């Protein structure tokens, strides 16, 4: 499809997916259109990069026993199996006879016991810049966290939030049980 003719000739037109979206006469308007397209392209590329970063996997399921599932940010649930990829915002749940161990990209290991629920709230890993962030939320259940590379970085943020408090210990290994009204933590490092 083409755009309708404008009087005076020298018109610049933009057709997108068969639709005429802009038509201007004169070379100066062509520059305006080019600037508008450049802005649109940069906005689209920026959104694509941001969405790609949000949708990039941050870890995988290393082991699973019994029933365990992940629900993504769109509300879609799937059963976990060894090798399942995990993403920021995923909610990991284990059933009454379920257990799961996940490995994040920085080699942090998180194990969940029965009837547990974990949210992978945030994750950033830039080893070249010695920057990183692991933020999780355990809503209930028994869990163990063995810090990986991010937990040992001095500028890193490494937190496990629970209903009653936040655990923020770098470079360590701990076991905890969280419920709506209590938190018990045992440090495993000497």
C-alpha distances (whole Å) from 101 to each of 60, 150, 163, 169 are 9, 18, 21, 20
What confidence score (pLDDT) does residue 19 get?
55
In this structure, whether the domain defined by 58-187 belongs to CATH 2.60.120 is answered with yes
Q: Where are the domains of the chain?
A: 11-55, 58-187
Report how far residue 63's alpha carbon sits from residue 152's, in angstroms, rounded to the nearest whole number.
24
At residue 142, the pLDDT reads 98
pLDDT of residue 20: 53
pLDDT tens, N- to C-terminus, the chain (190 residues): 455 554 555 554 555 445 554 555 554 455 455 454 445 444 444 443 344 445 689 999 999 999 999 999 999 999 999 999 999 999 999 999 999 999 999 999 999 999 999 999 999 999 998 889 999 999 999 999 999 999 888 667 899 999 999 998 766 799 999 999 999 999 887 5
- For residues 176 and 159, the answer to whether their CB atoms sit within 8 Å is no
Q: Which residues pair with 8 in a beta bridge?
A: none
Collapsed DSSP state (helix, strand, coil) of residue 39 = helix
pTM of the entire predicted model: 0.71
Both structure tokens of 14: 């933009």
Name the strand (E) or helix (H) holding 125: strand 117-126
* Cα 10 off chain centre by: 48
């Amino acid at each position: 499809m083409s755009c309708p003719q404008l009087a005076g000739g020298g018109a610049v037109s933009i057709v997108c997916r068969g639709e005429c979206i802009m038509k201007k006469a004169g070379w100066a308007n062509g520059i305006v259109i080019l600037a508008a397209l450049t802005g649109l392209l940069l906005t689209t590329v920026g959104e694509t990069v941001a969405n790609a970063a949000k949708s990039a996997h941050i870890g995988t399921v290393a082991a699973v026993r019994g029933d365990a599932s992940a629900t993504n940010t769109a509300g879609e649930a799937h059963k976990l199996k060894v090798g399942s990829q995990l993403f920021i915002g995923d909610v990991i749940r284990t059933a009454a006879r379920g257990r799961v161990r996940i490995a994040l990209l920085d080699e942090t290991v998180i194990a969940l016991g029965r009837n547990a629920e974990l949210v992978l709230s945030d994750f950033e890993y830039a080893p070249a810049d010695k920057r990183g962030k692991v933020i999780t939320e355990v809503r209930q259940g028994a869990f163990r966290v063995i810090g990986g590379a991010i937990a040992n970085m001095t500028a890193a943020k490494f937190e496990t939030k629970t209903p009653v408090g936040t655990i923020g210990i770098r470079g360590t290994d701990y076991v905890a049980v969280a419920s709506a009204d209590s938190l018990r933590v045992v440090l495993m490092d000497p």
